[in-house]
Amino acid sequence: MLNDEDFVRLSLENHLFWARIMKEHAIFIESSMPPTQTQLAVQADRFKQQFERLLAESIRLANGSVSNRSLQSGQFFTRYTEAAEQATQRFTGIEIDSNLTKAAYSIQPSGSLPSAQQTVQAVSGLNQFAMEQIDAFARFKSDLYRMQASCRIFTFLYTSVYEHIFHEARKYMEIITGLQKRDENYNRDFEAFWNQHMSDHAKVMRGLFDPSEAELFNTADSFAKTFDAILQNRSAGRAEEMAATKGLSEFKAATTQEILECKVKSLMSPLFTDHILREAYYYIYLLQA
């Protein structure tokens, strides 16, 4: 059973990562909607605002409560995040609160003092709020997947992406539900989950590069095949998973920088590639635990 310090630390570390991921899912959904789907875009924007609220409170509570290792991992923000947010806001017209990213820069790691009971109670309340928002957002994503898969709507996201981000919401819910119960095994089977998602990322990148970017297409395809092989080989160890994820993270980082510098042709926003880069860093962080 998790003690107060671990409960607070792990809850806030996961919110700092996942709440940002969820708000960006909402941004990607909103930006993908054609003019005929204004109401769905409005719903996505409401979810963005709710997860920004969750992230802001997580940042406030995290100061002095999270590990230095997590702060240095790149899972909460990268050197590209702020510029990627600004560029994506300029491209899409969707308001993105970069002040949250700036605030995250100043989070201080935990010290030696135990968590105050007031903080424990605040984190418990935050977890409850998060679970309500995650559940509602997961249902919204599931609805979008079903509507697009049955040709009732058209959006500019792959149908498989809706399934992908639905499963990420489910994983977030699983983690916070487990933490709320003080369960030490709150993040079960994370390797299988993230190996699949690293494969998905590579395949989506492959499909979103401009056809003229043959070398980048082939690199993404190679990473997809690597992770598919890992998924099929149940005896694959952490060293192989780590090497593949680090390699893919370097590719994502280089792509993000090149998109920001307008050196690569693609249908990816810089926030999208920074988003999946942070997910790779999160997986590396888990593998190193």
Tokens 């409850």, located at residue: 128
Instruction: Kindly report, residue by residue over 52-107, the tens digit of the pLDDT.
Output: 999 999 999 999 999 999 999 999 999 999 999 999 999 999 999 999 999 999 99
Instruction: Kindly report, residue by residue over 176-197, the tens digit of the pLDDT.
Output: 999 999 999 999 999 999 999 9
Closest to 59 measured CA to CA, from 30, 94, 20:
20
Q: Which residues pair with 209 in a beta bridge?
A: 266
Query: How many Cα atoms within 13 Å fall on the side-chain side of residue 169?
Result: 26
Phi, psi (degrees; rounded to nearest 5) at 113: -80, 140
Q: Are 122 and 61 in contact (CB under 8 A)?
A: yes
Most confident listed range (110-114, 231-235, 247-251)? 247-251
H or E element at residue 199:
helix 190-208
Q: Domain ranges in the chain?
A: 1-66+107-185, 189-289
Q: Are 19 and 133 in contact (CB under 8 A)?
A: no
Q: Are 66 and 16 in contact (CB under 8 A)?
A: yes
Mean model confidence pLDDT for the chain: 96
Please report the DSSP string for 25-87 in residue order.
Answer: HHHHHHHH--GGGHHHHHHHHHHHHHHHHHHHHHHHHHTTTB-HHHHTSSSS--TTHHHHHHH
Instruction: Kindly report, residue by residue over 98-147, the tens digit of the pLDDT.
Output: 999 999 999 999 976 667 899 999 999 999 999 999 999 999 999 999 99
How confident is the model at residue 166, as a pLDDT?
98
Any idea which architecture 189-289 has in CATH?
A: Up-down Bundle (1.20)
How confident is the model at residue 61, as a pLDDT?
97
Query: Is pLDDT above 90 for 39?
Result: yes
How confident is the model at residue 235, as a pLDDT?
64
Band (243; pLDDT cuts 50, 70, 90): very high
**Same CATH fold assignment for domains 1-66+107-185 and 189-289:** yes
Tokens 């003690």, located at residue: 3
Domain 1-66+107-185 in this protein, CATH class: mainly alpha
Closest to 136 measured CA to CA, from 244, 22, 28, 238:
22
Describe the crossing of helices 270-288 and 4-32 by its angle, rounded to 10 degrees: 160
Structure tokens at 102: 């700036």
Query: How many Cα atoms within 13 Å fall on the side-chain side of residue 21?
Result: 28
Mean pLDDT, residues 33-47: 98
